[in-house]
């Protein structure tokens, strides 16, 4: 197995599965730098959900990516700037928001945008991987 030099959070993409995924993504996308993508619920996403999945409040609450201020500064990204987020399952273009996250970690609220990045493969578990996905961010 070849060695892939990449940044990822220990404990999230550790072990053989993480190394194989990173190697595969490096070959497929020629990524230079990796982030670890996690998804989850937020209060604003929940409020928007109660207004309806077609509501503007739900769209605003779910169509974004959060990343650390340190990563934003290093990549020359400003708050609200549209970025492309790419995983093995797909890609989206969304505005970025500074979040209280450690460097190397991305967060996308659960919703249509997250679903485009997660994909439908469950590896036999019945649940897609909502956390620990290798991702790339490209300023637009």
**Greater pLDDT, 48 or 8:** 48
Mean pLDDT of 15-27: 50
Residue 32 DSSP one-character state: S
Distance CA 86, CA 80 (A): 18
Residue 79 DSSP one-character state: T
Q: What angle do CA 85, 90, 116 make, to 5 degrees?
A: 90
Distance CA 83, CA 85 (A): 6
**pLDDT the model gives residue 37:** 96
**pLDDT the model gives residue 14:** 43
pTM of the model: 0.75
Give the start-to-end residue ranges of the domains of the chain: 34-139
Could you tell me which CATH class the domain 34-139 is placed in? mainly beta
- 83 in Cβ contact with 139 (< 8 Å): yes
Cα distances (Å, whole numbers) of residue 11 to 50, 80, 98, 130, 131: 34, 30, 23, 15, 11
pLDDT digits (tens, 9 = 90+) for 42-53: 999 889 988 999
Percent of the chain beyond pLDDT 90?
Answer: 62
pLDDT digits (tens, 9 = 90+) for 121-137: 877 888 887 888 999 99
Cα distances (Å, whole numbers) of residue 60 to 24, 55, 106: 33, 9, 17
pLDDT digits (tens, 9 = 90+) for 79-98: 999 999 999 999 999 999 99
Distance CA 74, CA 68 (A): 10
Indicate the pLDDT class of residue 57, thresholds 50, 70 and 90.
very high
**Greater pLDDT, 17 or 115:** 115
């Amino acid at each position: 197995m070849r060695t892939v030099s990449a940044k990822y959070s220990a404990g999230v993409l550790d072990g053989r599965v993480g190394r194989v995924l990173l190697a595969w993504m490096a070959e497929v996308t020629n990524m230079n730098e990796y982030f670890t993508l996690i998804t989850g619920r937020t209060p604003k996403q929940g409020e928007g959900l109660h207004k309806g999945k077609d509501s503007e409040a739900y769209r605003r609450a779910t169509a974004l990516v959060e990343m650390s201020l340190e990563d934003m500064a290093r990549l020359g990204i400003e708050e609200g700037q549209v970025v492309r987020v790419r995983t093995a399952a797909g890609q989206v273009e969304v505005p970025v928001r500074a979040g209280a996250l450690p460097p190397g970690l991305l967060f996308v609220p659960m919703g249509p945008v997250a679903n485009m990045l997660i994909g439908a493969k469950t590896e036999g578990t019945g649940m897609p991987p909502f956390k620990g996905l290798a991702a790339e961010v490209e300023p637009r």
